[in-house]
């Protein structure tokens, strides 16, 4: 049970998260990113390293555009 999709469940819907395209938006720009998501209620999962790594990088790029 080490693959992320095996680890993470939507607590309310009680189903495992599945990879899917999710729209992420910042400063009027939106782009699809593949994330784990609850197939039913669409709750998503953003891991810590993504939030503090790539996302900060992209945020800065968009802020300076």
Residues engaged in binding another protein (CB under 8 A): 1, 6-12, 17, 22-27, 35, 41-46, 48, 51-52, 55-56, 58-61, 63-65
Tokens of 62: 């968009």
φ, ψ at 10 (rounded to 5°): -80, 120
| Residue 52 Cα distances to 12, 28, 44, 64, 65, angstroms | 27, 21, 16, 18, 20
Please, what is the minimum distance in Å from the beta carbon of residue 19 to another protein? Answer: 15
């Amino acid at each position: 049970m080490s693959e992320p999709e095996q680890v993470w469940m939507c607590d309310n819907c009680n189903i495992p998260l599945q990879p899917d395209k999710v729209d992420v938006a910042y400063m009027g720009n939106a782009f699809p990113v593949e994330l784990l998501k609850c197939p039913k209620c669409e709750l998503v999962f953003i891991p810590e390293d993504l939030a503090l790594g790539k996302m900060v990088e992209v945020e800065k790029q968009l802020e300076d555009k």
